[in-house]
Amino acid sequence: MADQLKNRLPDVGVEITVIKTKGDIMQDVSLAKIGGKGIFVKEIEDALLRGDIDLAVHSMKDVPVDLPDNLEIGITTEREDPRDVLISKDNRQLEDMPHGARIGTGSLRRGFQLRNLYPSIEIVPLRGNLDTRIRKIETENLDGIVVAAAGMKRIGWGDRISQFIPLDTMLPSIGQGVLGIELRKDDTDIKHALAFINHLETWVETAAERAFLKRLGGGCQLPIAAYGKKQGENLKLKGLLGSLDGRIMIRDEIEGSCDDAEMMGARLADTILSRGGRAILRMVYESCPDNRC
């Protein structure tokens, strides 16, 4: 992002400020136990509200659907590969894994879908940055790990990928592969200056996915996935909700005009709620009344 700004706006000084968030620091605790809402963005948003920084760059899959009143996601970049990938011993594919194979992931969404596809697989909770997780294949005696393709490609480690998991097999997280720029709402000059970075196709897709997540309750730590794909003037959106025990998967899709992206996301969520999703959410809220589920 900094390079794009420097190239397009050479007269503007660009300085990168690294801010470690709660999610970055607490890598020995599962996301479900920490509480999933904003743990990768809150400290960055606080710096933005104080005026310490002028814009924040987030992975959109980490951004809650409800933002502070004075902030907004003003820009979404062109989406990188939205798929999940497998990094494994001996370059094995998922379908070639032995009975009882140990697969590492810190994502309820990934673990849920893996267990539904391959019931014999053992899911091993995993946190940390990419090099830490890859190293744990050896140190934790794992058969493989599942991570986002976007991170591997951006860091230049595409050659380490054993398998790109098809989207029909594993739906991605909301906003996976998308970088979002968060701004103060009154910084209209900055938003206008950055407009060249905004990718309309990605903006529409992400809007539908986030509307789907918002209607399902936002930050609850449940297996939730969605993927929107713009096709000409139309948008196709697929969504999934699973139960915490891994026994129930509700999956559906919708297609319509890109102009109705957010409405489509909410409508798809309503369909899933009517097919049993409300009962799943009710069980979660009853066991986790403060919504730190």
Q: How far apart are CA 198 and CA 181, in angstroms?
A: 9
Q: Is the dihedral of CA 28, 32, 34, 39 positive or negative?
A: positive
Residue 21, phi then psi, degrees to nearest 5: -100, 175
Q: Give first-to-last CA distance, the chain, whole Å.
A: 33
Annotation says 62 is catalytic: yes
Q: How far apart are CA 203 and CA 258, in angstroms?
A: 10
Contact 252, 268 (CB under 8 A): yes
Q: How far apart are CA 217 and CA 278, in angstroms?
A: 11
Given the residues 62, 252, 260, 270, select the one marked as catalytic: 62
Residue 110: what residue type? Answer: R
Rg (CA), the chain: 19
Active site residues: 62
